[in-house]
Amino acid sequence: MRRSPVAWLVPAVALLLILALPFAARPSRPAEVGARETLVIITPHNEAIRHEFTRAFTDHMARQGRRVQIDWRSPGGGSEINRVLVAEYAASFERYWTRTLGRTWSARVAAAFATDSDPSRPRVSGASAGDAAAEVEARRAFLASDVGCGVDLLFGGGSVDAELHATAGRLVDAGVISHHPELFGEGAIPAVVGGEAFWDRGGRWLGTCLSGFGICFNRDAVARLGVAPPASWSALADPAYLGQLGLADPGKSGSAVKAFEMIIQEQMQDARRRAEARGLGGDAALDRVAVREGWQAAMRLIRRLAANARYFSDAASRVPVDVATGDAAAGMCIDFYGRFQGEVTDAAGAPGRMGFALPKGGTSVGPDSIGLLRGAPHRELAVAFIEFVLSDAGQKIWSFRRGTPGGPERYSLQRLPIVPSLYAPAYDGFRADPRTHPYAPTRDFVYHEAWTRPLFRAIAFVVRVMCVDPGPELQAAYQALAEAGFPPEATARFDDVSAVDYEIVNGPLRAALRSPNAIDEVTWANRLVREFRDQYRQVATLARTGRATAVH
């Protein structure tokens, strides 16, 4: 029997009513009061910092009648963030160059538009007149544009990374220095302390807090190894730490590169003092000795530290966590990572297990930076965030213990404030670290920017090809040396760092790393890794047999 169309319609309508009941019964949501503003921040900062500044800044803006949320972008450490920003701005400028300006994109334009702060001089060599003109025009067009990457702020990372983005043109002046001159200069945040720049005179990046690089250690684990708690970089080269040292990969972490740079700076300063003691006069001559002899000594020390490494972590924050649990006996880390993990370990029922030391005469105190990105979609809100971070309220979030008046809510961030007024005696009872005072007049370490800053990328490269990639061979060689009692011939071969001496690294290697042709860097990496692997195999053979044997 055939049913009428109406007969089919009734059950269908009933089904729709049943499906709609839960939505009809759901309480209506209250209308939102005011539009919610979004601030987009790319950062290497951990969850604790993100949480505390989200809470503090949104509360601060709410008191002004503004509803704000923060969209945090955390692709990894500083090196990963650098790669992300370079790629995003390249893609964005290519669209602007080809679609808006109607120009032809080329490898030379891609290499030139964000590589030099001087638009009148192209960086790509061997260019024809037409190519050179396009490179200069591309650079000028980028600096005059509002090309962006959809992110407002770069928050976190050291001054080296910030300066890289500022020079490239990815960071721009936020106007904070001109609008708040009382925060900078005489009686306020100094431009330079101990050789470290604390803010960019062009306003493109500003320091927000301070940190040093040091050694975290597990007191129980160190005692089991039979050594004293480490207080210097060289202490970590003791063979007792074989397989017990936590290190971060400088190819992934900008803070790891900075820590290795501190070792190099320390060895250079020691070499300079020795040269002065020998009567070698003249600053220029002393500096030449410092950089060459100090570089070699630092490469030998870094190699021994790497030989003791349990791993090279992708994340610098992992090192103190593993030290606290005993998975590593000691490690290199930023001061606030070490102090923060010490507080966590104490609260977990193991007070005093975790220790941290700043190597005396072995580290400077430098800034963590913030900068406004070119083309920021929410510029006014981004500037407000920078101003908040530098205000007394923001500085207390960095430096006060949790639960203190104006301090953080859940986590003590263990950072040193950059604003000098926060070191007033009235705040000593509130700061998480009341003993460290970076503005104290006495200083036993001065950072010499000219010695190592131009080699920052080269340092990461050398550590990778000398220590990370040939890691198994390196550790096997060092273990063989230790078991044999460090015989002189094998030890001398191990300490040979001529393949990466200062002249090579500062000359042809640095040029290859700056080359627009990526093959140049790959060629150097392949050759050096192969040479170091052969060297370490030879060392192991010498240590075991006492004679040289050809290695194929």
**Across 11-25, 287-301, 437-451, 504-518, least confident range:** 11-25
Q: Is the pLDDT of residue 168 over 50?
A: yes
Average pLDDT over residues 329-357: 91
Question: CA-CA distance, 304 to 474, in Å (whole number)?
Answer: 9
- Does residue 534 have a pLDDT over 90? yes
The per-residue pLDDT for range 477-506, each reduced to its tens digit, is: 999 999 999 999 999 999 999 999 999 999
Q: Which residue has the tokens 């500096």?
A: 287
Of all residues in the chain, the percent with pLDDT exceeding 90 is 75
Q: State the pLDDT at residue 34.
A: 54
Report how far residue 298's alpha carbon sits from residue 433's, in angstroms, rounded to the nearest whole number. Answer: 30
Query: What is residue 90's predicted lDDT score, i.e. its pLDDT?
Result: 97
Give the span between the Cα atoms of 374 and 142, in whole angstroms: 10
Decide if 96 is inside a domain. yes
pLDDT category, 96, cuts 50, 70, 90? very high
Considering only CA atoms, which of 335, 398, 330 is closest in space to residue 363?
335
Worst-scoring range by mean pLDDT, 148-157, 199-208, 312-321?
Answer: 312-321
pLDDT of residue 14: 36
What are the residue ranges of helices labelled H in 348-455?
379-390, 392-399, 449-452
pLDDT band at 116 (very low <50, low <70, confident <90, very high): low
The answer to whether 521 and 513 have CB atoms below 8 angstroms apart is yes
Number of structural domains the chain divides into: 1
pLDDT of residue 254: 85
The predicted structure's pLDDT at residue 110:
93
Q: Taking 70 as the threshold, does the pLDDT of residue 128 lie above it?
A: no
Q: Which domain holds residue 91?
A: 80-147
User: Which residue in 182, 196, 238 sits closest to 215, CA to CA?
Assistant: 238
| Residue 436: per-residue pLDDT | 86
Q: How confident is the model at residue 26 (pLDDT cuts 50, 70, 90)?
A: very low
Q: Is the pLDDT of residue 551 over 60?
A: no
> Using H for helix, E for strand and C for coil, what is the string for 261-285?
HHHHHHHHHHHHHHHHHCCCCCHHH
Give a yes or no: residue 118 inside a domain: yes
pLDDT tens digits, one per residue of 44-93: 999 999 999 999 999 999 999 999 999 999 998 888 899 999 999 999 99
Residue range 417-431, pLDDT digits in tens? 999 999 999 999 999
Once rounded to an integer, what is the mean pLDDT over residues 509-530? 94
Q: What is the pLDDT of residues 275-308, one digit of tens each?
A: 999 988 789 999 999 999 999 999 999 999 999 9
Examine residue 333 and state whether it is found in any structural domain, yes or no: no
- Which pLDDT does position 31 carry in this prediction? 33
Task: Specify if 276 maps to a domain.
Answer: no
| Backbone phi and psi for residue 414, each to the nearest 5 degrees, phi listed first | 60, 30
Residue 12 pLDDT level (bands cut at 50, 70, 90): very low
**What's the distance, Cα to Cα, between the start and end of the chain in Å?**
90
Evaluate whether residue 546 is within a structural domain.
Answer: no
For residue 328, pLDDT over 70 is answered with yes
> Are residues 364 and 262 in contact, defined by beta-carbon separation less than 8 angstroms?
yes
pLDDT of residue 18: 33
The pLDDT, as a whole number, for residue 6 is: 34
Nearest to 157 by CA among 262, 62, 255: 255
Any domain includes 129: yes
At residue 126, the pLDDT reads 55
Task: Provide the angle, in degrees to the nearest 10, between the axes of the packed helices 283-307 and 456-463.
Answer: 30
In whole angstroms, give the CA distance from residue 142 to residue 194. 35
Residue 443 pLDDT? 66
Name the pLDDT band for 97 (thresholds 50, 70, 90): very high
Inside any domain, residue 116 = yes
Dist. CA 317–CA 482, nearest whole Å: 30
- Using pLDDT thresholds of 50, 70 and 90, give the confidence band for residue 125: low
Residue 141 included in any domain: yes
> pLDDT tens-digit profile of 138-148?
999 999 999 99
Which residue would you say has higher pLDDT here, 7 or 446? Answer: 446
Coil, strand or helix: which one is 337?
helix
Q: 9 pLDDT exceeds 70? A: no
